[in-house]
Copies of this chain bind each other. A is one copy, B any other.
């Protein structure tokens, strides 16, 4: 495998000149031409490790994702991968759920200087734990988290998502509205609730506190919460679940209670997971711009790395969209 010196010798120039050719430095047009030919002929590819060592840059972006098996996450990762493919950066992927702490893997990635920057997807519960572990000057961004001291976040517009869900159900005539939330510690869940509540308030409807349930974003948790709501003396006529998995749980609950969706009960989910077009009835859900979120995170982080933008704690809110399917209907 040819190295930079081989090229230099063959082209009758110094290694420095070859380096300049590679990196777009100032080189005489003719020399550049000649060197490039040699590079091509020898099929020379600069060694990444040596390059990193010289530049004191890894040329890699660390990506931490809780899991790959949820479409929401894997779509984000795919968005990241796509945009990164057009840069000179490689993506080092780490999955955090199955490891004790994400901190450790993050610190190793950084300590060993394997990654120049970090994209961290939803460290939800433990985002706080991350506090203090980041070097202040590390380019980093959260996806689907909240901005954090000196770290920005890109998210779907949770408030608006909740708002759209609320508007939709109100427009269908629903007045007794239930909500199945994530854990109490979950900020995006709260934001969706806030938006939902705002829609109701605008229509002079009060959200009955009796109709609010906290769950865990999982199907079973949603099912339990749903049974709880459906067994109420006067159950709500529509329920907003802050993610789709819990809505599927609600489907099971409704099935077990013989309640027809959407005739007797309207349901709105969140995330528009691919399954939502396959469940029956198909699920009305708020779609997040997953790919765009990944892409935005990459462009922001590249700006940060290249000093085109300053490190601040911004929040980039991307628009969400309610996908209207068959789990919601006008009240009879």
A95 near B82: Cβ-Cβ < 8 Å: yes
Task: Tell me the A242-256 residues at the B interface (CB within 8 Å).
Answer: 248
Given contacts A47-B112, A77-B93, 13 further A-B contacts (CB under 8 A): A1-B111, A45-B113, A46-B112, A47-B113, A48-B112, A49-B52, A68-B74, A68-B75, A68-B78, A69-B78, A81-B95, A90-B109, A91-B92
A93 near B95: Cβ-Cβ < 8 Å: no
A228 contact set on B, CB distance < 8 A: none
A259 within 8 A of partner (CB)? no
A95 near B90: Cβ-Cβ < 8 Å: no
A332 within 8 A of partner (CB)? no
| The 3 residue pairs across chains A and B that have the minimum distance between CB atoms | A45-B111, A49-B52, A68-B74
Given A45-B112, A49-B52, A112-B45, also A68-B81 (CB < 8 A): yes
A8 within 8 A of partner (CB)? no
What are some 15 contacts across the A-B interface (CB < 8 A)?
A43-B111, A48-B52, A48-B112, A49-B52, A49-B53, A49-B113, A51-B112, A68-B68, A68-B81, A77-B93, A81-B93, A82-B98, A85-B95, A90-B92, A92-B92
A25 within 8 A of partner (CB)? no
Q: How far in angstroms is the closest Cβ of chain B from A118?
A: 14
Mask: chain A, 267-305; 1 = CB below 8 Å from B; 0 = not:
000000011001110000000000000000000000000
A205 within 8 A of partner (CB)? no
A105 near B85: Cβ-Cβ < 8 Å: yes
A105 contact set on B, CB distance < 8 A: 85
- Distance in angstroms between the alpha carbons of A90 and B60 in the assembled complex: 11
Q: How far in angstroms is the closest Cβ of chain B from A294?
A: 10
Task: Tell me the A96-132 residues at the B interface (CB within 8 Å).
Answer: 98-99, 105, 108-109, 111-114
Partner of A95, one of B48, B50, B78, B92: B78
A67 within 8 A of partner (CB)? yes
A58 within 8 A of partner (CB)? yes
Q: How far in angstroms is the closest Cβ of chain B from A110?
A: 8
A71 within 8 A of partner (CB)? yes
A94 within 8 A of partner (CB)? yes
Task: Tell me the A204-240 residues at the B interface (CB within 8 Å).
Answer: none
Q: How far in angstroms is the closest Cβ of chain B from A222?
A: 13
A111 contact set on B, CB distance < 8 A: 1, 43, 45
Mask: chain A, 300-315; 1 = CB below 8 Å from B; 0 = not:
0000000000000000
Smallest CB-CB separation from A281: which chain B residue?
B280
A46 contact set on B, CB distance < 8 A: 112
Task: Tell me the A19-55 residues at the B interface (CB within 8 Å).
Answer: 43, 45-53
Partner of A278, one of B60, B69, B275: B275
Q: How far in angstroms is the closest Cβ of chain B from A153?
A: 22
A49 contact set on B, CB distance < 8 A: 49-50, 52-53, 58, 113
A50 near B53: Cβ-Cβ < 8 Å: yes
A67 near B78: Cβ-Cβ < 8 Å: yes
Q: How far in angstroms is the closest Cβ of chain B from A111?
A: 3
